[in-house]
Amino acid sequence: MNIDWEDLRAHARVAMKKAYAPYSHFPVGVAGLVSDGRIVSGCNVENASYGLGLCAECGMISELIRSGGGQLVAVACVDQHGNALMPCGRCRQLLWEHGGPDCLIDATSGVLPMSEILPDAFGPEDLQTRN
Ligand code: THU
């Protein structure tokens, strides 16, 4: 599947502009290409109860499911300058669930598969094989 990274980054930048980040002043946007060609996106949404803030990836995954589900094949996350931003540890786990090991990430060091940014991951199959 051909991945238009510039288009994906552009969607992430549009989402970043919608971020609600009055506490960290660190807006984040993310966009994901789904296997059926859809693009889903999200922005971070903070809260006065700081620990309840939602990362941009949470919003994107919610949109993925709401709009029909499917497998993420490529993800671009950006900071307020529109530059590539690495997903935090928790969000790598979210991306693993819906992208798997081959989902490509627009990492700060270049495009990398999820298997490299979350090696030896725990995933849904562990619930089956270790039950
Ligand atoms: N943030 C994200 O939205 N995604 C990440 O992967 C890294 C961190 C947000 C959370 C918080 O609103 C702000 O960035 C500063 O940590």
CATH number for the domain spanning 82: value is 3.40.140.10
* 92 burial via Cβ count (<10 Å: 0-12, 13-18, 19+): middle
Q: Residue 116 is part of which domain span? A: 5-129
Identify the pLDDT of residue 40. 99
Number of structural domains, the chain? 1
What percentage of the chain carries pLDDT values higher than 70? 100
Confidence of residue 52 (pLDDT cuts 50, 70, 90): very high
Average pLDDT over residues 20-38: 98
Residue of the CA atom closest to atom 4 of ligand 1: 55
CA distance 77 to 13: 8
User: Whose C-alpha lies nearest to ligand 1, atom 10?
Assistant: 55
* Catalytic residue annotation: 57
Residue 21 has pLDDT above 90, yes or no: yes
What per-residue confidence (pLDDT) applies to 88? 98
Residue 6 CA, ligand 1 centroid: distance in Å: 22
pLDDT at 1: 86
Contact 107, 84 (CB under 8 A): yes
Q: Is residue 94 within 6 Å of ligand 1 at its C-beta?
A: no
Longest pairwise C-alpha distance within the chain: 45
Beta strands in the chain (DSSP E): 29-34, 39-43, 72-78, 104-107, 110-113
Q: Measured between alpha carbons, how far is 89 from 95 in angstroms, rounded to an integer?
A: 10
Predicted local confidence at residue 96, as pLDDT = 98
